[in-house]
Amino acid sequence: MSRYANIRPDMARLWSTLERSAQIGTTPRGGLRRLALSEDDGVMRRQFQAWCEAAGCTMEIDPIGNMVARRPGRDPDAKAVLVGSHLDTQIKGGRFDGILGVLAGLEIVRTLNDHGIETRRPIAVVNWTNEEGARFEPPMIGSAVFTGEKSTQFAWERTDKDGITLGAALEAIGFAGSDILRPEAFDSLFELHIEQGPRLDEQKIQLGIVTGAFAVRGFVVEVTGETGHVGPTPMPKRRNALVGAAHVTLAVEEIGWLMHETGGKSTTMRLKAEPNLLGILPDHVEMTCDMRHPSDEVIRTMMQLFLDRVPELEEKSRCRITVRESWSYGGMTFDPGCTALTRAAAQQLGYTHTDLLTEAGHDAMHVANYLPTAMIFTPCEDGLSHNELENVTLADIEPGVNVLLQAVLARAG
């Protein structure tokens, strides 16, 4: 906290940008469907670019479409402080998930402009490409290319359900840039996000200081049975892959309940059956499942509990069940220095706050392995997210935006 401790963002102005964003890809129930690199994402990106340029920033766009709007600092050699999140949404997503973090970054730039404040380090507002992974998998691909964990070529070759490549989609909306964005050119990252869980809202806590991330395992389960006619095939001769999938689903669910008092969760989130037709026993199901826990050790136990049950599930369903791990992330601690800045700002401003771990995936989790990184959570109504009814009030987010401003100011100097 500094001589700028009394500076406040213009919350009404921030809210108006959130409202404008909520008009781009609006769903009938008032949420957003703004899939990564869709036409609507292009419209939103151009709007964001126009706002940033009007605020005196220069825009850099890399080949994966990550956008970084840079507000210069005093020191020409100082690396920039990144502030941001993502502007894409789920298919039936909300108006705040990700968007709040990007537009709060823009509001910080505007606020500094209002007060004629020059920081030592540049401040760079970032919009990461395809955080949600709702159109192209894996999720968080923009930040993974930024850190070098994934190659641009790998990212460009991802396809959506219609077979359109991510590269073609980027070019179609004009956001395949040529700027080079790499962690070594930046100082740190601050990401503000809605909690996407109920804890802050239920306990009426104004802020979450995110000290680290849950460990996450994603895995694909394939169930193989045998087709046959649903009429004459006797029960003992059947190998219905949907029956195998039902046993898998309930086994996965049970493990989440077993660990839920220490924060564990498990989910079957996607299931595709084949041939999935009337009159035929399905012979193949592919399911995607997910387990999360604060402890990496416990997550390994949860996975093992599931793998140990596979033979029993195979026997019950007479299907073959194979499991392959698909992704694994989280389980890390955010930078204590950056996190301390956010905690200090919350204390100085007199906001109630609590340390917590993020249970969702965020671009900050990729970046945290390369740059000092901090995350701040604001409450969201009933913890509902990835849902059209996701909601926050201006009062809910004001503490988070203020803390973000002060922490970024402190880091940027």
Tell me: does residue 384 bind a second copy (CB under 8 A).
Answer: yes
- Could you tell me the two tokens for 203? 């306990």
Q: Where are the beta strands (DSSP E) in 264-303?
A: 265-274, 284-293
Rounded CA gap, 5 and 3, in Å?
Answer: 6
Nearest CB to a second copy, comparing residues 60 and 201:
201
Q: CB 271: neighbour CB atoms within 10 A?
A: 17
Q: Which of 169, 152, 151, 149 has the alpha carbon at shortest distance from 160? A: 169
Tell me: does residue 39 bind a second copy (CB under 8 A).
Answer: no
Of residues 245-274, those binding a second copy (CB under 8 A): 245-247, 249-250, 253, 256-257, 260, 264-265, 267-273
Tell me: does residue 159 bind a second copy (CB under 8 A).
Answer: no
Which of these ranges, 119-127, 131-139, 151-159, 182-190, lies near a second copy under the rule CB under 8 A? 131-139
Of residues 74-103, those binding a second copy (CB under 8 A): 90-92
3-class DSSP assignment, residue 294: coil
Residue that has been written with the tokens 């402890």 in this structure: 295
Nearest CB to a second copy, comparing residues 254 and 335:
254
Tell me the number of residues near a second copy by CB under 8 A. 70
Q: CB 138: neighbour CB atoms within 10 A?
A: 17
Rounded CA gap, 141 and 406, in Å?
Answer: 29
Nearest CB to a second copy, comparing residues 233 and 301:
233
The correct pick among 11, 78, 230, 344 for binding a second copy (CB under 8 A) is: 230
DSSP bridge pairs for 243: none
Rounded CA gap, 356 and 281, in Å?
Answer: 46
Tell me: does residue 37 bind a second copy (CB under 8 A).
Answer: no
Q: Which of 63, 36, 35, 65 has the alpha carbon at shortest distance from 153? A: 63
Tell me: does residue 208 bind a second copy (CB under 8 A).
Answer: no
Tell me: does residue 236 bind a second copy (CB under 8 A).
Answer: yes
Q: Which residues bind a second copy (CB under 8 A)?
A: 90-92, 132-134, 137, 139, 195-199, 214, 216, 218, 226-238, 240, 242-243, 245-247, 249-250, 253, 256-257, 260, 264-265, 267-273, 275-282, 288, 290, 292, 358-361, 383-387
